[in-house]
A and B are shown apart, each in its own frame.
Chain A
């Protein structure tokens, strides 16, 4: 049986105002996979995520989701098609309580996690549910909330932009467990990461970005033997 292409991106170009950020990005994500975008700062990883959601000023090329073209759609329709986005800055709303933040994204399809399942995955959030301002949570709790709220929506394709950035190792481990858990439930995940050691613990494949293009693809199993190459790409 051929693998089902959940997300297929070809010749994607994107601009912020006058500056041309993505120069023909090509990659794909199969259903049920966890795929990472690796690369240095400014390589275009976050812009790729935002371009998939339609959140850049201008984008051209092709972004097919489940075979349907989304390049001309507004962000709300892309979300309704079943793609959910967790931004790098987490996007927790300070004027909303923790519960309101959790319940904010509309349900786009059946099959999302129930609130009880979410609290089982993130016990801290249950304890903090009554907090009046979402931004009063710690950085780690905010990150969990940002992931939790998109698990509710029924979207099966998740875009997670640097979920481990700036977090303590114990929280990074919890987020790793969460990603493996949602993968086992059949979700598809596209992950942006700076930390490839973390990426290696959750992903099936890695794409490497440089200067607004995909320059390489590495299977997770080959990661060990590709270390030299990877160090060169990432400059670590």
Chain B
């Protein structure tokens, strides 16, 4: 058996892969938060609940209509994204002229309501979601066995994260979004329907969370708390990466997942706190986060 720093290779690589998987979810969730924060100036505390909704919608689609995993990967984000659009239009849009704190409180309240409704309807013990047949099994990479589904999650997350990054940084739509983040009234005075752009941005950020939720469904059991388990770490990721930074969210998300995984190998006692330690160190050295722009 290969030993690395006195640690059996398979154990190290196994934890690294787990770290990458968690990192993939951190990255997708913090990316949605960053996009929403940039455009709406709202810290979307409901993000975890919407991630959970994505997993539940996939489960319900399968249970009630027999719609499988891959169609759900498209359908659930669309359904939850539409729900997000309704939320933004009816409730969240009323807060734009108020302090950040109101948006945070409202979305926190929304997440409690959403989670409560699902707990009431489905209990909190968790529902199983089967890995699709084509992604069953594992592949021998030579140094370790990798479950195929986990490899797929990392790949899908990377593709989604970098597509989002490319849309925002490299397209004319992205240029309009960036400009509206800087000076929304002027962009509107150029003829862009900014309120509609804001609504669709929220819907897209929410859809990203739901997409992550569907990816998560076969790994973690589908239960009403699955979002809250993630969201604390995700907010730390957002702070470390720099509020509103797209690239920061992606790099920090994957990076912290890996750091967490390695900590589990070398000093398991600290694995739950290492992310927050990193946050404290980063905030002391660079208060605006690793990729944050100066205010």
Contact of A91 among B183, B193, B194 (CB under 8 A): B183
Interface string of A96-109 (1 = CB under 8 A from B): 10001001111010
Give the distance in Å from the alpha carbon of A150 to the alpha carbon of B69 in the complex: 48
> In the bound complex, do residue A106 and residue B179 qualify as a contact, i.e. CB atoms below 8 Å apart?
no
Contact of A95 among B172, B182, B189, B192 (CB under 8 A): B182
> In the bound complex, do residue A104 and residue B190 qualify as a contact, i.e. CB atoms below 8 Å apart?
yes
Contact of A96 among B179, B188, B194 (CB under 8 A): B179
Q: Does B11 belong to the interface (CB within 8 Å)?
A: no
Give the distance in Å from the alpha carbon of A93 to the alpha carbon of B185 in the complex: 13
Q: A74 contacts which chain B residues (CB < 8 A)?
A: 188, 193
Interface string of B163-192 (1 = CB under 8 A from A): 000000000100110110111011111111
- Interface-located stretch among A8-16, A75-83, A224-232: A75-83
> In the bound complex, do residue A79 and residue B189 qualify as a contact, i.e. CB atoms below 8 Å apart?
yes
Q: Does A85 belong to the interface (CB within 8 Å)?
A: yes
Closest to B169 in A: A95
B interface, by DSSP: helix, strand, loop or mixed? helix
> In the bound complex, do residue A75 and residue B188 qualify as a contact, i.e. CB atoms below 8 Å apart?
yes
Q: B185 contacts which chain A residues (CB < 8 A)?
A: 55, 75
> In the bound complex, do residue A153 and residue B178 qualify as a contact, i.e. CB atoms below 8 Å apart?
no
> In the bound complex, do residue A153 and residue B190 qualify as a contact, i.e. CB atoms below 8 Å apart?
yes
Closest to B194 in A: A76
Closest to B195 in A: A74
Given known contacts A95-B181, A96-B178, A100-B172, A106 and B191 CB-to-CB distance under 8 angstroms:
yes
Q: How many residues belonging to A are interface residues under a CB distance threshold of 8 Å? A: 25
Give the distance in Å from the alpha carbon of A104 to the alpha carbon of B186 in the complex: 11
Near B by CB (< 8 A), chain A positions 93-131 give 93-96, 100, 103-106, 108
Give the distance in Å from the alpha carbon of A55 to the alpha carbon of B184 in the complex: 11
Given known contacts A93-B179, A95-B178, A103 and B172 CB-to-CB distance under 8 angstroms:
yes
Given known contacts A91-B183, A93-B183, A75 and B175 CB-to-CB distance under 8 angstroms:
no
CB distance from B249 to the nearest CB of A (A): 16
Q: Does A148 belong to the interface (CB within 8 Å)?
A: no
Q: A85 contacts which chain B residues (CB < 8 A)?
A: 186, 189-190
Give the distance in Å from the alpha carbon of A186 to the alpha carbon of B187 in the complex: 25
Give the distance in Å from the alpha carbon of A110 to the alpha carbon of B225 in the complex: 54
Q: Does A53 belong to the interface (CB within 8 Å)?
A: yes
> In the bound complex, do residue B179 and residue A95 qualify as a contact, i.e. CB atoms below 8 Å apart?
yes
Q: B192 contacts which chain A residues (CB < 8 A)?
A: 76, 106
Given known contacts A87-B186, A93-B182, A94-B182, A76 and B191 CB-to-CB distance under 8 angstroms:
yes
Q: B194 contacts which chain A residues (CB < 8 A)?
A: 76
Q: B178 contacts which chain A residues (CB < 8 A)?
A: 93, 95-96
Give the distance in Å from the alpha carbon of A105 to the alpha carbon of B172 in the complex: 10
Closest to B168 in A: A95
Q: A105 contacts which chain B residues (CB < 8 A)?
A: 190-191
Interface string of A132-165 (1 = CB under 8 A from B): 0000000000000000001001000000000000
Residues of B within 8 A of A (CB): 172, 175-176, 178-179, 181-183, 185-194
Which 9 pairs from chain A and chain B are nearest by CB? A79-B191, A105-B190, A100-B175, A95-B178, A75-B189, A91-B186, A75-B188, A93-B179, A53-B189
Given A76-B191, A95-B181, 4 more pairs with CB closer than 8 A: A74-B193, A75-B188, A95-B178, A105-B191
**Can you offer 5 A-B residue contacts whose CB atoms are under 8 A?**
A80-B191, A91-B183, A95-B179, A104-B172, A106-B191
